[in-house]
Amino acid sequence: MEVTDVKYKVSEIGAIPVDWEVVPLGNATIKIGSGITPTGGARVYKDSGRVFLRSQNIGLGKLLLNDVAYIDEETHQTFQSTEIQDEDVFLNITGASIGRSAVATFLVVKGNVNQHVCIVRTKHDVLNPYFLNYFLLSHFGKKQIDSFQAGGNRQGLNFGQIESFRIPITSLSEQTAIATALSDTDALIENLEKLIAKKRNIKQGVMQELLKPKPEWKKQKLGELLDYEQPTKYLVKDSEYNDNNLIPVLTAGKTFILGYTDEDFGIYENLPVIIFDDFTTATKFVTFPFKVKSSAMKMLKAKNKEVNLRLIYEIMQTVHFPLSDHKRYWISEYQNIEVKVPSPPDQEIISQILSDMDLDIDSLGKKLKKYKLVKQGMMQALLTGKIRLV
């Protein structure tokens, strides 16, 4: 049952229900400590044996075991004090991944961790480890972790700092309910991520088959299919950047943000268009107004109504554009590259198939973004008792 009629009090982490407490993490744990890296480092890792977790194996709320290391029994015997137990909470305490946390599963129990990973073992009659894990990953946990990094030259947490983390404590039943609700949301997100990855793989296979040249396809130069426009009118200087308003500025590898007003001119709006970079041969299929950062960019449009621009873009992804020490240009060279293209009716059919697949993937991507935002809101509300689950 959800309860919202709750009285609150002020605490170190903000307003919480009057029946909650905020305690130092050290008061709710029986162990806070990291492991040791074996003498010899990676040279002593084995293909099997005891799991040996490193910081790259600790993700945002889950274990990443694709490249897990192993140590032999003899090495493990020297690390028994850091042997992993079920439901231990792992917290990365150094480096760029500081603050990432996850909970031990049966896959890693009786293994070990290195010195970059801290084991936090809770008093299970006081603090649910899954509740703790979500709190560490929340805004409230990150804020405390960041507070110990301010002004320091080296990213790192020590055990005393971890023990001092202020953790909200409610009844175990409510902690479990909160952790379960967030875990269910994580499951939805993970399943959606898997579905998106599957559909992208399917699309890749479909593309390879559909774009495989057939005997009846016609050989044509790219310049016979596409007209180009120089970017002169759409160039942006560094001095023009302004974060107050938004319009994309395209480069070979990144999309920048530029401020603009209604009085601005020179925005490319003859869409859709293929952006091609002479120096890197990077391409983009663009459907929104933009400016460009480099004079090396070319705006490529369909030569006539029989050319399906979207399909030609996909075909261009299969083309090898040679690069060397000297500059090569669309005008002098790349437009002379020959490709095989289907008839105009078949271009439309293939393009429609790929567009429909993209729309499906984009729709799932928007749903995934929504689920992630919902989860963030849930964490904010549940972990501080704004919404009660009892």
Asked whether the beta carbons of 382 and 178 are under 8 A apart, the reply is yes
Asked whether the beta carbons of 39 and 32 are under 8 A apart, the reply is no
Whole-number average pLDDT of the chain: 90
Asked whether the beta carbons of 330 and 229 are under 8 A apart, the reply is no
Give the pLDDT band of residue 326 (cuts 50, 70, 90): low
Q: Which residue has the higher pLDDT, 304 or 252?
A: 304
| pLDDT score of 311 | 96
Asked whether the beta carbons of 136 and 108 are under 8 A apart, the reply is no
Q: Which residue has the higher pLDDT, 254 or 248?
A: 248
Per-residue pLDDT for 73 more than 60?
yes
Give the pLDDT band of residue 260 (cuts 50, 70, 90): low
In angstroms, rounded to a whole number, what is the distance separating the alpha carbons of residues 311 and 319?
13
In angstroms, rounded to a whole number, what is the distance separating the alpha carbons of residues 265 and 302?
24
| pLDDT score of 2 | 47
Between CA 200 and CA 205, with CA 203 as vertex, the angle to 5 degrees is 115
| pLDDT score of 153 | 45
Tens digit of each residue's pLDDT (9 = 90 or more) over 87-139: 999 999 998 899 999 999 999 999 999 999 999 999 999 999 999 999 999 99
pTM of the model: 0.81
Per-residue pLDDT for 41 more than 80?
no
Give the pLDDT band of residue 3 (cuts 50, 70, 90): very low
| pLDDT score of 325 | 64
DSSP 156-210: B--HHHHHT-EEEE--HHHHHHHHHHHHHHHHHHHHHHHHHHHHHHHHHHHHHHH
In angstroms, rounded to a whole number, what is the distance separating the alpha carbons of residues 261 and 244?
10
Per-residue pLDDT for 68 more than 80?
yes
Q: Which residue has the higher pLDDT, 81 or 335?
A: 335
Strands 338-341 and 50-53: unpaired
Q: Give me the mean pLDDT over the 363-377 stretch.
A: 96
Per-residue pLDDT for 239 more than 80?
no
